[in-house]
Amino acid sequence: MAKGSANKPSVLFSAEEIAVRVESLAREIAAAPRKPDIAMPILVGGFVFAADLVRALQRQDVELDIEMLWLRSYGDKRVASAISMIAGPSEQIAGRHVLVIDGVLDAGRTIKKAVSLIEAAGAASVRVVVALDKQRTGAVAKADHIGFVIGNDFVIGYGMDDTGKYRALPYIGRAG
């Protein structure tokens, strides 16, 4: 893993490493006995990962409808606060096999809220895939598919931000 300069965050996972892992995740999801038929990315942090993953799934002949779920837990801080729903699941979820896609699984509160909302909307099944999992002891949710396991670093890039900055970086980095 390369180190960043004083102006750029250090690289945890390069764009190339991410691309290889996304293709591997797509193969893993495509090989599952029950394939999803609708993707539900969690905005905003999961949108870049979701875009790459649904295209990789298409290459594996897994065609997905897409519906966004917009939950906010960080706001303008680095510490998670109460989770607010900006946009929730629609009636399209009822009876469907949903693949929830998010950037980071930290304490699991956002994933837990997402799964609860989707189940309440009548989904037939819910599976979760995350780009990064901190695998915290005591997390209230788990992912079914994990891109990379990381420590407790605050991460940025590849759709994830630090109070609005760094979301467009093509790699996943450690915030300073």
Q: Would you please indicate which residues are annotated as catalytic (active-site) residues? A: 106
Q: In whole angstroms, give the CA distance from residue 117 to residue 131.
A: 21
Do the beta carbons of residue 69 and residue 100 sit within 8 Å?
A: yes
CA distances from 96 to 2, 38, 49, 63, 67 (A): 42, 7, 22, 13, 12
Tokens 């394939």, located at residue: 35
Collapse the DSSP code of 27 into the 3-class scheme (helix H, G, I; strand E, B; otherwise coil) and give the result: helix
DSSP 28: H
Q: In whole angstroms, give the CA distance from residue 59 to residue 114.
A: 27
